[in-house]
Structure formats: C-alpha cells, structure tokens
Amino acid sequence: MSTVLDRQSGRGLAALRRLAAARRKPECCELCAAQLGQEHQHLVDRESRRLLCSCDACAILFDHSTATRYRRVPRDVRDLSRIEIDEVLWNSLGIPVGLVFLFRSSVTNSVLAVYPSPGGPTETSVADEAWSEIAALDPALKALSDDVEALLANRTGGARRYYIVPIDECYKLTGIIRRYWTGLSGGDELWEQARRFFERLEDCARPAGDTAYA
C-alpha cells in the first residue's frame, strides 16, 4: 500500500531546500564546517535518508562505505536507454504515474519506489519478483548501490527513458514537481522545468557500465 513518505524519507527534500536557501549565504560542510561551493558532495544518512552537504575531504571517508551510518552519493549519471520495460512488467509495479525512482534501502533490505506528486513524494514497496525481473534487464541494475543510487524512469508523454542516477538528483526532481505543480495536470511551467531537468541528465549521462566519481 502506498503511503506518503514519513519524516525520515522527507528529509531529503528538506536538505535540497537548504541548498536553495544557501545561495544567499556560504554553504558549509555538515561534518567539519568547511565552506563549500555551490557544487559539492553529498552524503546520505542510511537510517534517516537525510542528505548532508559535505566537502571532498569528508566525503571521501565514506566512499563505497557499507559499514558506517553515512554513505557518499556518487556523481555519475548512467544512460539505460538500451533496456526496455514492457507494459506487463511496468504495470506489475502498481505505480500510477510515469515518473518514478526505485532504490534499495540497506536498512530495510527492500526495494522502494518513490514517485512525486503535488503533495510531496509517495512511496511504495516493490515486490522482490518484480524487481528481479527489472534488474535482470541490465547488469548495471544488479550492481545498483544501496541507498545512494536509483533507477529513474521517465515514461511521461510517450517517453521510455531510464537512468541510473545519484539519489540527490531524484530529490531534486521531486522538489521541482512539488514547487511548480498547478491544476490537475501540473501546468506548462512544471513540464518545462521537468524537460530541462532531463535535458541536463542527458548532457551528463555516460553509458551504463562506465562508472566514476566526480
């Protein structure tokens, strides 16, 4: 059953609001208080799903870390245009919209699907069988990093585009939808902002299977 994200999972959005507000004052690393530039690293608190702003020196301490509370969010975006998810498999997820991201939580050891809405993100669990079918479509999906990477699907307006993205990019998209949504269908401004978001992803995406930290 789908439920509105609780406070823990909503903290990712709160972190992004802080990022926007920070344009008016220097942003600081939340671990060592070093001043940060507009573009900087993020960490994820695995338990609360909260995003933390981090300097490079602190972020590297949690690079590929699985034994600590925090995990470094990678910066690379990978294009999965080579995969196809047919209608039967997609409908088995029970997701009523065409924009969704899926990731595995190391805390619950389950795959979660999160899709944006005017009232905020909505979360549902993904059946193990359905995720296994999706992950079998590409080796990169089987190697998806828990907590910090997600499969982002864009199936709006006839699109069938899939990406592996850092989890903070997913929360950025969620914030765009919540900020710009108007009326019943979202409005022209919302979809223009979403188009720009995906254009930016396309510009920086690398082929699946080629990974790197910025």
Question: Does position 127 have pLDDT exceeding 60, yes or no?
Answer: yes
Amino acid 185: pLDDT: 83
Res 201 pLDDT > 70? yes
The DSSP 8-state label assigned to residue 66 in this structure reads S
Cα–Cα dist 111/133, whole Å? 13
Inform me whether the pLDDT recorded for 207 exceeds 60: yes
pLDDT of residue 104: 95
Would you say residue 214 has pLDDT above 50? no
Q: Residue 121 — very low, low, confident or very high, per pLDDT cuts 50/70/90? A: confident
pTM for the structure as a whole: 0.81
Percent of the chain with pLDDT over 90: 58
69 pLDDT higher than 80: yes
> From CA 175, how far away is CA 118, in angstroms rounded?
10
21, 36, 90, 142, 192 from 100: Cα distances, Å: 26, 30, 11, 18, 18
The Cα 38–Cα 205 span in angstroms is 21
Mean pLDDT of the chain, nearest integer: 86
Name every residue whose Cβ is closer than 8 Å to that of residue 15 and which is 6 or more positions away in sequence: 42, 50, 51, 52, 53, 168, 171
- pLDDT tier at 212, thresholds 50, 70, 90: very low
Q: Which of 142, 144, 162 is nearest to 152 (CA)?
A: 162
132 versus 94: which is more confidently predicted? 132
80-91 b/e (C-beta count within 10 Å ≥ 16 → b): beeeebeeeebe
For residue 102, pLDDT over 90 is answered with yes
- What CA–CA distance (Å, rounded) separates 27 from 18? 9
pLDDT score for 23: 54
Per the rule left: phi > 0, alpha: psi between -120 and 50, beta: everything else, 94 is left
Please determine, for residue 174, whether its predicted confidence score (pLDDT) is greater than 50. yes
